[in-house]
Amino acid sequence: MYKLEKAPFGIKIKFAGFMQPDEMREWLEESKVALASAPKGFGVLVDETELKALPEDTKKVLQEGQALYKASGMSRSAVGLASALTTAQMKAVAKDAGIYEWERYIDASANPNWVAIAMAWIQDGVDPDAKAA
């Protein structure tokens, strides 16, 4: 299952359950339409707290989508996750897509306010991975 919607800062996406390649391709096609009117420097908030590990074919489509978002002007994205396995998988996909340095991953199971942390990164560049001095 996925849901894509425009937001004041850019685009919100939710991925949940066991996503198969066909469904991920639907998301990619819907994303192409949404990205056609996205402003430069937009942000992306991704809720993957209910997402299960992806099959290899599905990961490839997601990777294509991530590269498209970056090429379309995405400045930063943040992903909320609740599974160590899915987190590791998403980091690997982002590295392969070339967007890892613009994307942050937040453990929603340990941070109930993960959306606020994500929005601080997306809108203000407050890096949740930065260590406090």
Whether 31 shows a pLDDT value over 70: the answer reads yes
Q: Are 64 and 28 in contact (CB under 8 A)?
A: yes
- For 73, list phi and psi in degrees, rounded to 5: 110, 10
Q: What is the residue extent of each domain of the chain?
A: 2-124
Q: What is the pLDDT of residue 101?
A: 86
Q: CA 84 to CA 21: how far, in whole Å?
A: 22
Q: Per-residue pLDDT tens for 85-113?
A: 888 888 888 888 788 889 999 999 999 99
Taking the domain 2-124, which CATH number applies?
3.30.750.24
Helices (H), 72-113: 84-97
Give the residue from 20, 36, 101 showing the smallest Cα distance to 69.
36
Q: What is the pTM of this model?
A: 0.92
